[in-house]
Structure 1
Amino acid sequence: MTTQTDHTEISMLISRFFRVLDERKFEGDWARSYFTDDVRTVTPIGASDGIEAMEHTSEALERYARTQHIASDVLVDVEAVSGRAGASWNAPMTHVHHDTTLQSRGEDANPLLTVGGYYEAELRRMREGRRISRMSVRAIWTTGEPPVLPPEIQPTPAE
């Protein structure tokens, strides 16, 4: 049974994570405030395992001048006996391209890549509070063009 306390704790963790992304506050062990050491993430550009993989989040966001991630309609389900929790939420995400990207694309380049999608996560209760152990993001729609990815990053084919 999910309590209001469970819902509030998990929703706040998600909101704080999105705020860190947009403010780009990646100091020290920032990822351990949100994720377990063995976290698995799946995004449109691939899957990653382990807390060290989360450190690459800052590299991905540097492809944009600014971003805004919004978590809405957070749904939480907590198993009373095990304490395991699941969460899902809608996420409109706006990415503002760097001026250099726009200049390379020409006068009519769209300054934004906007994505509408949703996240799904599994969470564990740790000594410090709940942490995300699995997280996936699914893009449902996009407008604009993505940044040019480095050759070593190849997007995962759509399912």
Structure 2
Amino acid sequence: MTTQTDHTEISTLISRFFRALDERKFDGDWARGYLTDDVRTVTPIGAADGVEAMAHAEEALERYARTQHIASDVLVDVEAAAGRATASWNALMTHVHHDATLQQRGEGANPLFTVGGYWEAELRRVREGWRISRMSVQAMWTTGQPPELA
């Protein structure tokens, strides 16, 4: 049974994680406040585990000048006795291209790459609170053009 406290803690964790991505607060062990050490992430640009997963996320965000990730409609199911939970939420993810990308693409290039979709996550309760142990994003639609991958 999901309690209001669990729902609030997990929703806040998701919001803070998205904010950290957008503010690019990647100092030291920043990800430990949101993710388990064995986290697995699956995104349109690939899958990764553990520390590599966060390096992968940081690298992906550096392809843009700025980003804004908005999460809404968080749904949470908790197995309290097992210390596990699942969550899903809708997301609007806006990416602002670097000036160099726009110059390369020429006059009239769209400065934004926007993705609408949803995220799914598995979470575990650890000593410090809820942490994401698995997460994936499913893009439902896009506008604009992503940067070229190296």
TM range (shorter): over 0.9
Partner of residue 41, structure 2: 41
Q: Is the 8 A contact 2:47 2:53 kept in 1?
A: no
1:3 pairs with 2:3: yes
Partner-residue secondary structure (3-state), 1:73:
strand
In proportion to residue count, which structure has more strand?
2
Write out aligned runs for 1:66-81 (5 A).
Answer: 66-81=66-81
Q: Which runs of 5 or more structure 2 residues have no equivalent in the other structure?
A: none
Give me the CA root mean square deviation: 0.8
In proportion to residue count, which structure has more helix?
2
Q: Which runs of 5 or more structure 1 residues have no equivalent in the other structure?
A: 151-159
Q: Which deviations, in whole Å up to 9, do the C-alpha atoms of 1:45-82 show, x marking residues without a partner?
A: 11101133212322111100100000100000001331
Partner of residue 117, structure 1: 117
Greater than 2 Å deviation, 4+ residue runs = none
The one-letter amino acid of 1:45's match is I
Instruction: Give the count of matched residue pairs.
Output: 150
Q: Is the 8 A contact 2:48 2:56 kept in 1?
A: no
Partner of residue 12, structure 2: 12
Report the TM-score when normalising by structure 2: 0.97
Partner-residue secondary structure (3-state), 1:71:
strand
The one-letter amino acid of 1:55's match is A
Report the TM-score when normalising by structure 1: 0.92
Partner of residue 156, structure 1: none
Partner-residue secondary structure (3-state), 1:81:
helix
